[in-house]
Structure 1
Amino acid sequence: MTSNAGTDSTATTQLTTPTHHFTMRFSSTPRGARLARRLCGERLDSWGIPYGSEVHDVLTLITAELCANAVRHGNVPGRDFHLQLTADATSTVRIEVTDTRGERLPTPTPADPEADRTDGRGLLLVAALADLWGWCPRADGPGKTVWALLTIPAVPDR
C-alpha cells in the first residue's frame, strides 16, 4: 500500500486515542454502495465523529463517491467490493475501497468538466475534500484499492 517513510521516529509510541478499524464486503450494486455509505456514517458517529459535523459529512461523501465508483467502474459480475475505514491516533481517517477490476484504473479528472455532463465528478470531489488520495494494485488478487486520507482538525478545549 503506502510506506511510512516520512514518519517522525521521535514521536511517542503511546496512543492518546484508540485506533479504530471497520471492514466489510458489499455487493457491487447501487444498494451495496448505499449500505456502505450508511454504515460508514454510523461507524464514524460511534468513533466520536458526530452526525451533522462537517468532518462526518466530508468523510461520508468521500466514502460514497469511492463506493459508487467501485460499483460503476470496478464491477465484475458476482464479485463484491470491500470497504475499510481506519482512524488512528493522529486523528487521520483512511478510507479504502477495493474492487476486482484491475484494468479500469482511476484517472485524474479535468479540473473543469463539461457543464452538460451529469457524471465524471466523483474523483474531482474526492481530490478536493481529501488531504491525499490515490490507488494501488489489490494485495490479495486481481483489482485495485482506491484510498483517501483526511486528518481531522483538533477541537480546542472549551
Structure 2
Amino acid sequence: MSAAVPPAARAETDLAKMLASLQIDVREGEYVFVSAPHWEALPRELAQASIVEAEGPTCVLRREHADAHGLGYDFVAAWLSLRVHSALQAVGLTAAVAQALARHGIACNVLAGYHHDHLLVPTARREDAIAALLALRGDAAPAPA
C-alpha cells in the first residue's frame, strides 16, 4: 500500500500550468555521457545518472571525473533542471521542450526523474537553451479575449 501524498506535493499534469510556471535550475559544471561493457569499468559512485542498456551501462559524469578516470566522451553538456514537479503521467512537457529547443537548433538529451526533468544541452548553447525554454512561459499564457 502506498502512502498518501500531501496535496501541496502532488505533481502537475496540466501542460499549460507546467509551462506557465516553468523555472530552470542550472547545475554547475560540465557533464558527459560515458559507457562501458560492464559496470566495473565505470566509476559508478560518481555517476550523476545512469541507465542500463543492452550494450552496457551508461553514466552521466562530471567532465572532470571522466577525465580523471581516462574515460572517453564526445558530447559535453550543461545540465538544466526544469523546476516544475511534472507528474510521470503528464502529457506534452517533453514534446514542448524538445520542440522549443529544436526550433533553435539545440541538441538535448532528457533524463526524467521522479520530481523533475533534466536536460543535457551543449555547453556552448546553455544560455540559448535557457532563453528558449523560458519563452515557453509566455507561449502558455491564455490568448486575450
Q: What TM-score comes out, normalization by structure 1 length? A: 0.26
Q: What TM-score comes out, normalization by structure 2 length? A: 0.27
Greater fraction of residues in strand: 2
Greater fraction of residues in helix: 2
**Greater gyration radius:** 2
Higher relative CO (Cα under 8 Å, sequence separation at least 6) belongs to: 2
